[in-house]
Amino acid sequence: MKNFENVSVALEGNSYFDGAVTSRTVNFADGSKKTLGFMLPGEYEFGTAAAELMEITSGELDVKLPGSKEWVNVKGGASFNVPANSKFQVNVKTVTDYCCSYL
């Protein structure tokens, strides 16, 4: 999907790691939400209360998911799932755009 229809977008963005990771919240009529953002190259750890689907729309990163000791390479067009109430690490190789869906 390249476009979202009939949504509202939060005017205020979210900024993490001194601005190296940013996002905007997109709210859907059914009450669901997604965040759209980008990450600059670097290493980051995120925590999430809700399960997430992270879709990488462009760029490249390595991700280490909860319970794993291995890094997995993810490039634009691929995605990964993050379980609820967990932390995960990313090592962003190039400027990376993403869409995060809360499941």
Ranges of residues in the chain whose predicted pLDDT is under 50? none
| pTM, 2 dp | 0.90
Quick check: is 97 in a domain?
Answer: yes
Q: What is the pLDDT of residue 1?
A: 57
Q: Give the tokens for residue 44.
A: 């980051």
DSSP annotation string for the chain: -----SEEE-SS-EEETTTTEEEEEEEETTS-EEEEEEE-SEEEEEEESS-EEEEEEEEEEEEE-TT--S-EEEETT-EEEE-SSEEEEEEEEEEEEEEEEE-
Task: Provide the domain limits for residue 22.
Answer: 7-102
Whole-number pLDDT of residue 97: 98
Position 81 scores a pLDDT of: 97
pLDDT at 2: 78
Query: CATH number for the domain including 89?
Result: 2.60.120.10
Domain membership flag for residue 29: yes
